[in-house]
Every structure is written in structure tokens, then in C-alpha cells.
Amino acid sequence: MGNETLDVLLLEPLQVTPRTSVPAFVLLLVIYVFIVASNLGLVALVCAERSLHQPMYLLLCNMSVNDVLGATVVVPHVLRDLARVGSERRIRYTDCALQAFCVHLHASVSHTVLMAMAFDRYVAICSPLRYAAVMTRGAVLRLSAAAWGSALVLVAVLVGLSVRLSRCRRLVSNPFCDNASLFKLSCESVLVNNIYGLGYTVLLLGSSISSVTLTYVRIAAVCLRSRNKALNGRALQTCATHLSLYVIMFVSGGVIIALHRFPALSDQRKLASILFHVVPPALNAVIYGLQIKAVRQKILVLFTRNTDV
């Protein structure tokens, strides 16, 4: 069967009934609107307020933009399917490949940006006197470009290896397209895809885990040696905020990888894959917006002004 006849693919539907589709649609729509509004609002706030033009908040903008990207790639497609329960789900192969690229780009940038933010916290706490000299605006731009650029290259090769394969199947065993869905459409050998996919995962997760772990070990050592309780308290607050988001993102991704090993739990895997693009983006703005004092104060000032008006 030629690739021309397989240009339109079929996506596996979510296991929802017409009765549960309506509340699921409303809940997911509300969460999606919150994700977009809160994250873009946080970016707008950081851009508008000069006092927030600091490396930590500028790097946070990368995370917020990436969260909106990740949610927008997946959630509108799921909402459309919830609105048409029982109908056949179709997607063009080119759109499927683009969606897979964006899905993996979002996951990769989540790691690379959190690594950049960990470096920022390391310099701020372990070398506070050199912080202004190291974390200049140019350094922030280079860190942001490196986070997005490295993820872009890794994902482009990952998806490119799958796109090169001929296709003999039409069914995508997922509610949305990802790289595994793409190369499973082929009857050719996918050994190269598996080798690169494993290397990609080891490189990304290995560098992410090792850099974050080493960073917080050094930060913990500095805090233990320091007798300044106020400084230690501020350091622990910002680090706990960053680390909690990292743990949420890492656990969400790890659950999906683990469920891939159990075909009988395919429905649970589908739900977990959607939640990966919903839960961390929804919590990002809440965790950073409400836990970081400077951002919280600016939000309160804006709401106070609106109330007075």
C-alpha cells in the first residue's frame, strides 16, 4: 500500500461515553483557558514591569510560552473529539508529523529551560557577588537560545527519522500524534529510530537529572554552611518552587514512559499523555505566580487597581 493512500490517518478515540463527554469537555476547556490566560498573563506582567526584568523571571517566560505551546498542540484536538464522540477521528499525515514534532519539542524544552533556571539559582545562591556579572541580559538570551535550539535539533532528528519511513498502516494508537505513533505506522525496520530514541532520552533525561541534582546538592551545602537564616529562607523558597515544578514534570513524563511497557493499560496511558500537557502547564503559573513574592505583589497591585477603578 503506497504512502499516497495512507495520507489520512485514523486516531484512536478516548474511551468516553456521550454522558461523560460533556463534563469532560467543560472541565478540559476551563483548564485550557486558565493555562493560556495565566501563562500569557505572567509573561505580559514580566514584560511590563521593569522590576521583574531579572534573569529568573525572564527565564520563567520561556517556561510559560512553552506551556502554552504544549497545551495548544494537544488540548484543542482533544476538545474537538470530545464534542464529536462516536465519530471517526481523522488527521492528515503532515499534520500528524507536525503535531508529533511540537509534542516532543514541548517535552524537551521543559527539561532544557528548567536546567537553565537551575543554573540561574546556582549562581544566585552559590556566587551571589558574581551574579550580576554572570547573569547578564546577554547571558539570559544565550541560555534561552541554547534551551530552545538544542531541543529543536534533537527533536528535528527524532521526528525526521520517522518521517523518512514508508507507511503500511493508518491507525495511530494514541489520542494525538507522537514520534512512537509515527514510526509504528511503518513495516520497515525501526532499529535506527529505537537507537536514536533511546540515546535522545538518555541524553535529555540524564543531563537534566544530573544537572539539577548537582545544582541542588551544591545549594544545600552552601545553605548548611551559611548562618544567615533570612538568606537561607529565601534560597529555599525559590529552590522549592523550581524543584516542585521539576518533580511534577518529571513524574508526569515518567508515568507515560512506564505505561508504554504495559499494552493492557492503553486507556490509562492515553489519559496520562493528555494530563502531561495539562497538569504541569496549569500548575506552572500558580506555583511561580503565587509562591514568588515579587510576582504575587504585582498581581495584587493589578487587582487592587482594577477594583479601585
Per DSSP, 49 falls in state: -
Query: Checking phi first, is residue 86 left (phi over 0); if not, alpha (psi -120 to 50) or beta?
Result: left
Write the pLDDT tens digit of every residue in 148-158. 999 999 999 99
Distance separating alpha carbons of residues 25 and 76, to the nearest angstrom: 10
Write the pLDDT tens digit of every residue in 98-149. 999 999 999 999 999 989 988 988 888 888 889 889 999 999 999 999 999 9
Burial of 192 (0-12, 13-18, 19+ CB in 10 A): middle
- Beta carbons of 196 and 99 less than 8 angstroms apart: no
- All domains of the chain in start order, with CATH: 8-307 (1.20.1070.10)
Distance separating alpha carbons of residues 184 and 162, to the nearest angstrom: 9
For residue 279 the three cell numbers come to: 497538569
Write the pLDDT tens digit of every residue in 178-211. 888 888 888 888 889 999 998 998 899 889 888 8
Burial string for 205-216 (b: 16+ CB within 10 Å, else e) reads eeebeebbeebb
Q: What is the mean pLDDT of residues 19-39?
A: 90
Confidence of residue 3 (pLDDT cuts 50, 70, 90): very low
